[in-house]
Amino acid sequence: MGCEDNRIIFENSLKDPYGMPQPTFEYEPTPQFAHECSNMMNDMTDVAQKLGGYLPGSNPQFMTPGLALHLAGTTRLGRGDVEEEYRTSVADYNSQVWKFDNLYVGGNGLIRTAFGANPTLTSMCFAIRGAHKIHQDLKTCPKAPNPEAPLQNTPECWVSWTNNIDDPNFPDHKRLRKPHRQV
């Protein structure tokens, strides 16, 4: 967890390329977070060395906060079963915003912790789960999220394409665009 004072401020006096208020990030890692990052880096480098090391110029490094393109934790999910977690999260694990019956959030911001790799698949899982919840809500009378309601598994039919190579929706990495650079 970060500090309570970590936040995003939208600067009305500064505009981004789209004319929107520029987001400014105020961020201070906790000593525990710094220790966890150090452990993660040590684990990653130990495994990489056992697998044969690194390609030239690709040694692991910590990036300056704000340089990473995969921002996380700005719209955190929570269970809501503990007052502290309810107070420090935005939505339940179905991506439904607390106290709203028709507002859902998505993206990497849902992931409440730092990650060591591209979070796209995790974000996709949350998107599928949120879409399933919206689908269920549209079939019934919409209600605000109940923090004490048990989470339901996403139906297998919604995600079966992710592990069935014969499914036409299965990601075919051979059809992706060619890399712009080869190492």
For the question of residue 118 being annotated catalytic, the response is: yes
Q: How many CA atoms lie within 13 A of 115 on its CB side?
A: 18
Contact 44, 116 (CB under 8 A): yes
Q: 158 in helix, strand or coil?
A: helix
A 10 A CB-CB count for 108 gives 20
Q: What is the separation, in whole angstroms, between the first and last Cα of the chain?
A: 36
Q: Catalytic one among 39, 42, 59, 118?
A: 118
Q: Which residues does 137 contact at the CB level (< 8 Å), separation at least 6?
A: 101, 143
Of 142, 161, 162, 144, residue with least CA distance to 99: 144
**Would you name the residues annotated as active-site residues?**
70, 118
